[in-house]
Structure 1
């Protein structure tokens, strides 16, 4: 076996397991990603507070603005929200007139979710704030670095994802 010869399945030389202390927090990608997303989400939530949007509603609006007609399961994956939270969020958004649910033509058991005109308007109002916070993430980072970074994140996502979405 390759691992018996000091080579891992990925073709890299196998090495003894490192401790987190040896790696260090500032070199441990999951720690950095959590710190970045925690701060991004907190900054964004503060910025959209006047619109009275929760993080779940904001993510739902954003995803449906780009990928309309998702099921609740698909929307939960795209928005990175637990299905129970997504169900409650969609109920509130439907009561507020931001989304509508339609029966899928090919399968009457499936309900697809769409933004209403009011939902699209709500997203259009919040998008400039979301985009400004996004641009802040990349201050001092040129387009080539950003493109390479996003490409690396897409590869990492393929490595960890459970769904094909």
Structure 2
């Protein structure tokens, strides 16, 4: 399925133009090529990059990576003893080494502390310190304001519809990955 060549829109950049126009040559070369799917993938990846870069730039003003911010956000939902390190890794979807590095950094800043689980000494718990809670509370208003600003061009109905479609895509992709895994990678 060939798609007409798109002209660059004001405000678009060369990457958008390149990927959405230049990838079309694959449609004649590969039978499996499906333009609507490729276009969706490009738009998702590019949108993720734009949003990630914007949020990371703002967090950098506080010497905080997006990963470290996510650790603070996850830990803010745990009361009492804290969160087991392995569970934190599952919730963040990053490697154990990355979680350890993020926790080390946040511990040096006195935002988190590690303790042993009294019931199972093999389990390491992580929790926010008072300083970590105070820091997070100080940056959240500006963060939520930026998030709101990023999506102000969309109606609440559009946001809800897009969220629903993204969940549907995520579930479809997860199912597809399971099928591929069960079929030996094919």
How high is the TM-score relative to the length of structure 1? 0.71
| Larger RCO (alpha carbons 8 Å, 6+ apart) | 1
User: What does residue range 12-91 of structure 1 map to in structure 2 within 5 Å?
Assistant: 18-20=32-34, 22-23=35-36, 25-26=38-39, 28=40, 30-67=41-78, 69-91=82-104
Aligned-residue offset at 1:121: 1.4
Is 1:149 the counterpart of 2:162? The answer is yes
> Which residue of the partner structure matches residue 103 of structure 1?
116
Q: Which has the larger radius of gyration?
A: 2
Give the Cα–Cα distance (whole angstroms) in 1 for the partners of residues 66 and 59 of structure 2. 9
> Which residue of the partner structure matches residue 129 of structure 1?
142
8 Å contact from structure 2 (residues 113, 127) kept in 1: yes
Residues 63/31 of structure 1: CA separation in 2 closer, same or farther (3 Å cut):
farther
8 Å contact from structure 1 (residues 47, 129) kept in 2: no
Residues 158/102 of structure 1: CA separation in 2 closer, same or farther (3 Å cut):
farther
Give the Cα–Cα distance (whole angstroms) in 2 for the partners of residues 108 and 74 of structure 1. 16
The number of equivalent residue pairs is 143
8 Å contact from structure 2 (residues 85, 123) kept in 1: no
8 Å contact from structure 1 (residues 44, 129) kept in 2: no
Give the Cα–Cα distance (whole angstroms) in 2 for the partners of residues 56 and 117 of structure 1. 20
In structure 1, the gaps of 5 or more residues are: 1-16
Aligned-residue CA RMSD (Å): 2.6
Aligned-residue offset at 1:133: 2.8
Which deviations, in whole Å up to 9, do the C-alpha atoms of 1:12-39 show, x marking residues without a partner?
xxxxx7404x33643x2x3322222211
Aligned-residue offset at 1:67: 4.2
Give the Cα–Cα distance (whole angstroms) in 1 for the partners of residues 93 and 47 of structure 2. 16
Give the Cα–Cα distance (whole angstroms) in 2 for the partners of residues 136 and 80 of structure 1. 27
